[in-house]
Amino acid sequence: MDVENNAATILDRIRAKGAEGDLIVDEGQALSLKARDGELEEHKVSSSQIYGVRVIKDAHVGTAYSEAADEQTLNSMVDQALINATFAKVEADEKILNTTGSLVTDDALLCPSDEVSIENKIQFVLDMEGDLAAKDKVQNVPYNSVSDSIVQRRVFTSSGLDASLKQRMCVASAYALMVDGDKNVMDGSGRAARQFDQLSYAGIVEEAYERCVGLLHGEPVPTKHYDLIFDEEFQVEVFSTFASMFSGKTAKDGVNPMRDKLGDIIADPRLKISDQPLLTDGFGYALFDSEGTATRATPLITEGRLETLIHNSATAAHFGVSTTGHGIRGPKSTLGVSLHQLHIDKGSDSPETLFSGEYLLITDLSGLHSGANPISGQFSFGAAGYLCRDGERIQPVRNITVAGNFYDMLKKISAIGDELFWNLERSAYMPHVRFADVAVSG
Amino acid sequence: MLGSNIADSVVDHALSLGADFAELFVDRNQVNNIATLSNEVQSVQSGIDFGIGIRLVYGYKVLYGYTNKTDLDELRRIVSELSAKDLRDPINQKLAFDYRKPEEHHPASDVLSLDACIDGKVAYLLAADKTARAASNMISQTRGSCMQREQSIEIFNSEGLHIGDKRNYIRTSLTAYASDDGEQATGSWNDGGLRGWEIRSDISAAETGSEAARQALVNLSAKACPSGRMPVVLGNGFGGVIFHEACGHLLETTSVAKKASVFHDQMGEMIANPMVSAVDDGTMANEWGSINIDDEGLETQNTQLIKDGKLTNFLADRLGAQQTGYERTGSGRRQSYHFAPASRMRNTFIEPGEDELDDMIASIDKGIYASHLGGGSVQPGTGEFNFAVQEGYYVEKGKIQYPVKAATLISTGPAVLKEISMIGKDFSLACGMCGSVSGAVPTTVGQASLKVDDILVGGNA
């Protein structure tokens, strides 16, 4: 049976048992290629499908999933979810939304057809690996890959909603190991696009090489406080690490320090943060959330003031507000809350102002999750980058730690750049932010 | 799970297209997860993961595909698609499958396919919560979880191997949250093993709850950590995660074959202080990282990695052995059918020594005692690592002064191996999940307390 018929059978069974529910079906096809020493090292193709059901009966919620799609297993999945629900606490706020109709994304925009042959994709990864390996002091390119994947998410609800989002994502990346005497470094670069022919390996090779050669002879800087500017990747990583500060779910669970700060000034007045799920250039694009709620732009911090937390329908009901369309659930998980595409409005500081005086440009961070406490805001990360002065790189820097409190850093912003950028995964769109006076140990 | 006749036809098809080697990995996982929030059941989830991974090898090239479907046409289609660019006349002949069942070294009784035992697990987690919250009125909340999984695998390959195995995993954990005057801190404890819910007779809800609460309360009172280069005593058990991440990964042929490991050309050389001996042992009964056979069907082994400071073995899977010339060690592992196998660690630890923890601390003028480590990351090519200290103390003039927070340890694996100067007797193991090229697999880390003379400590004091 096809997905629609299976979904109808599953939802009929849920209703027949006196429950309501929804079903998420994720399907994917993917190709990935890796090269080694001028030969194709790995060629991987896959197809996958998974059904995940959530049932609600007498205010108890249960979930179950299956990667097998025969009728008997899918019926058993529904029955198991109903059994699981009997053990769960009462969740008076969690309901299946009373939405109907259909939401479908535009394939021409998000999932364009691919005209690039497999031979050309193989040649791409071979050339990328070979060109980078041929660079001065590059010992090898141990991590490289090219992938082309299509993912489709379907959400069906017992109230009659049928929503579908289908996206294509092509990614290429290469990481080189560079050795010079007793110094070594590994670093790399990558690109992502909707269509394979929009990718070019030349830029990846040059950027990966520049990142390695730049940091190869890095040394610690003296221990003191510095202004920090993160590069495009790691600025997004840092904001994402502490993104639970916006979560209505962590607020409901009592582990969000922003829970009682709605309307308060929590950041520099120049900072404006929002979630922009409908920017089609981003791979975090979401026409609807995991409950099937249509999404919209959501201001989070305006002029430094905390505007709202993000909610699914259950956390919204708990706080007596409306869902913001940020419900997140996979076939294997329960209902949570998550941002789609984080956005910071561009500021008014020109590159001359942003990059004036002495600062550290951070181009690598390690321990982002283990070294961070989103409840307290405390963090301590390993870092590398460059000591800079007036936009010039004075010294490559390695083996340092940066430490502080992220929530305090939001109030100690010294500049916000006037240009916006996407990160590699195109999940966030923001300008450079300069954080003042952060503790660095060398 | 898959008919031998279908497997036979698929493998035969692969060899007819010129593959040197063909393998089917049939994988079924039954899963049950329970989550509690303080004294309530937050969720109970269950599911079935099922799929088949197909690996073809042409020379050193790996072609890999997977699907959820079991029909012959789909499996043959994947083989044809994978090998389309490598077609050649057949080189090898398929050998007839010879089914065997491996010896069971990790017996389990209360397994998921018999009974999920949800009532008993919920009672355990709620008892742990009760103990934690009774420890102090500053313990504001707990989160508990119990994961049980039953993995059934079946492997067919073109060399005539047909073998099946079952693996039963159980893991419980509790995180306690302490709050006071707007400050929050956490502490956690977990247990696990390659066994069923009968583990309940060897673990204690009271101990789990009180340990999680104790850590959270210590961290709530912690002060900012001094920073700079200093000696560090790494606690036993999960302290071994540094060796796992910063050295163990560099001893896997996955990185050795690519020369993406600083140790790739140092076999037989002194790479550590002579007091350091280290092991990766997949055979330890019912340990979290143990297996009967690896995911290529080879019986697993006990592998001495470092003996008295000298590098003695790498961890090799089939492809790694082919590429490096080192013998396979029964270390070919993968998370699921989504991944081709790679050389991976199992139960990895530094062997105990003769020193006392008190003597290590007494030997420090200014430094840190990191009694519990958190997570971290490592750069495989260089061995550079970064680990968070989950529970740590500032030490001055040989005495523990006060707990510290937000501390991070930075160094490289090769440097730490040489900077180890004392190893204790208080050996213990701890379980975790290890992520790498073939996905996340259960692994155990371990050591006795040990002293490293020089590590960069990141703090914000």
Q: Are B347 and B333 a contacting pair, CB within 8 Å?
A: no
**Residue A134, CB-side half-sphere exposure with 13 Å CA sphere:** 10
The domains of chain A are located at: 3-215, 218-442
The helix, strand and coil proportions of chain B, stated in percent and rounded to the nearest 5, come to 20, 45, 35
Q: Are A393 and A214 a contacting pair, CB within 8 Å?
A: yes
Residue in the structure block whose two tokens are 């082919």: B322
Task: Kindly state the DSSP code that residue B336 receives in the 8-state scheme.
Answer: S
Contact assignment for A223 to B48 by CB distance below 8 Å: no
What is the rounded average pLDDT for all residues in chain B? 95
Given CB atoms, is B448 within the 8 Å cutoff of chain A?
A: no
Among A26, A45, A57, A83, which would you mutate to test the B interface (most chain B Cβ atoms within 10 Å of its Cβ)? A45
Q: Are A24 and A52 a contacting pair, CB within 8 Å?
A: yes
Contact assignment for A439 to B410 by CB distance below 8 Å: no
Q: Are A132 and A140 a contacting pair, CB within 8 Å?
A: no
Q: How many CB atoms lie within 10 A of CB B322?
A: 18
Q: Which domains does chain B have, with CATH numbers?
A: 4-32+41-100 (3.30.2290.10), 228-458 (no CATH)
Among A32, A33, A46, which would you mutate to test the B interface (most chain B Cβ atoms within 10 Å of its Cβ)? A46
Among A73, A370, A406, A437, which would you mutate to test the B interface (most chain B Cβ atoms within 10 Å of its Cβ)? A370
Q: Are B34 and B146 a contacting pair, CB within 8 Å?
A: yes
Rounded CA-CA distance A296/A323 in Å is: 11
Given CB atoms, is A140 within the 8 Å cutoff of chain B?
A: yes
Residues 6+ apart with CB under 8 A from B175: B142, B143, B144, B186, B187, B188, B212
Given CB atoms, is B152 within the 8 Å cutoff of chain A?
A: no
Given CB atoms, is B387 within the 8 Å cutoff of chain A?
A: yes
Tokens of A219: 């040394």
Predicted local distance difference test score (pLDDT) of residue B131: 98
Predicted local distance difference test score (pLDDT) of residue B106: 97
Phi, psi of B91 (to 5 degrees): -110, -45
Tokens of B161: 């191997």
Percent share of chain B, pLDDT over 90: 85
* Mean pLDDT score, B229-234: 96
> Residue A245 corresponds to which amino acid?
M
Contact assignment for B141 to A382 by CB distance below 8 Å: no
Rounded CA-CA distance B430/B238 in Å is: 5
Residues 6+ apart with CB under 8 A from B408: A367, A371, A380, A381, A382, A401, A403, B386, B387, B388, B389, B457, B458, B459
Calculated CA dihedral for residues A257, A263, A269, A274, nearest 10 degrees: 80
Q: Is the pLDDT of residue B9 over 80?
A: yes
Complex ipTM over 0.90:
no
Among B29, B44, B384, which would you mutate to test the A interface (most chain A Cβ atoms within 10 Å of its Cβ)? B44
Predicted local distance difference test score (pLDDT) of residue B169: 98
pLDDT tier for residue B184 given thresholds of 50, 70 and 90: confident
Interface of A with B in 275-334 (CB under 8 A): 332-334
Closest CA to A391 of A426, A422, A357: A357
Residue in the structure block whose two tokens are 């670093």: A187
Contact assignment for A257 to B41 by CB distance below 8 Å: no
Interface of B with A in 73-132 (CB under 8 A): 78, 81-82, 84-85, 118, 122
Contact assignment for B381 to A177 by CB distance below 8 Å: yes
Beta bridge partners of B32: B46, B148
Please give the model's pTM, rounded to 2 decimal places. 0.86
Predicted local distance difference test score (pLDDT) of residue B121: 98
Given CB atoms, is B325 within the 8 Å cutoff of chain A?
A: no
Tokens of A76: 């058993």
Residues 6+ apart with CB under 8 A from A264: A305, A306
- SS3 string of chain A? CCHHHHHHHHHHHHHHCCCEEEEEEEEEEEEEEEEECCEEEEEEEEEEEEEEEEEEECCEEEEEEECCCCHHHHHHHHHHHHHHHHHCCECCCCCCCCCCEEEECCHHHHCCCCCCCHHHHHHHHHHHHHHHHCCCCEEEEEEEEEEEEEEEEEEEECCCEEEEEEEEEEEEEEEEEEEECCEEEEEEEEEEECCHHHCCHHHHHHHHHHHHHHHCCCCCCCCEEEEEEECHHHHHHHHHHCHHHHEHHHHHCCCCCCCCCCCCECCCCCCCEEECCCCCCCCCCCCECCCCCECCCEEEEECCEECCCECCHHHHHHHCCCCCCCEECCCCCCCEECCCCEEECCCCECHHHHCCCEEEEEEEEECCCCCECCCCCEEEEEEEEEEEECCEEEEEEEEEEEEEEHHHHCCCEEEEECCCEECCCCCEEECCEEEEEEEEEC
pLDDT digits (tens, 9 = 90+) for B303-358: 999 999 999 999 999 999 999 999 999 999 999 999 999 999 999 999 999 999 99
Handedness of CA A359, A364, A366, A371 (dihedral sign): positive
Contact assignment for A381 to B408 by CB distance below 8 Å: yes
Rounded CA-CA distance A426/B409 in Å is: 31
Q: Are B454 and B225 a contacting pair, CB within 8 Å?
A: no
Predicted local distance difference test score (pLDDT) of residue A371: 79
- Helix or strand (DSSP H, E) at B210: helix B205-220
Contact assignment for B456 to A66 by CB distance below 8 Å: no
Q: Is the pLDDT of residue B1 over 90?
A: no
Predicted local distance difference test score (pLDDT) of residue B119: 95
Q: Are B135 and B105 a contacting pair, CB within 8 Å?
A: no
Q: Are B156 and B172 a contacting pair, CB within 8 Å?
A: no
* CA distances in angstroms from A60 to A7, A21, A385, B69, listed in the order given: 22, 11, 51, 33
Name the pairing type of β-strands A421-422 and A428-430.
antiparallel
Q: Could you tell me which CATH number the domain at A3-215 has?
A: 3.30.2290.10
Predicted local distance difference test score (pLDDT) of residue B262: 87
pLDDT tier for residue B381 given thresholds of 50, 70 and 90: confident
* CA distances in angstroms from A311 to A248, A255, A320, A332, B14, listed in the order given: 5, 15, 11, 20, 51
* pLDDT per residue rounded down to tens, chain A (442 residues): 699 999 999 999 999 999 999 999 999 999 999 999 998 988 999 989 999 999 999 999 999 999 999 899 999 999 999 999 999 999 999 999 999 999 999 999 999 998 899 999 999 999 999 999 999 999 999 999 999 999 999 999 999 999 999 999 999 999 999 999 989 999 999 999 999 999 999 999 999 999 999 999 999 999 999 999 999 999 999 999 999 999 999 999 888 999 999 999 999 999 999 999 999 999 999 999 999 999 999 999 999 999 999 999 999 999 999 999 999 999 999 999 999 999 999 999 999 999 999 999 999 998 887 778 888 898 988 899 999 999 999 999 998 999 999 999 999 999 999 999 999 989 999 999 999 999 998 8
Contact assignment for A67 to B384 by CB distance below 8 Å: no
pLDDT tier for residue B165 given thresholds of 50, 70 and 90: very high
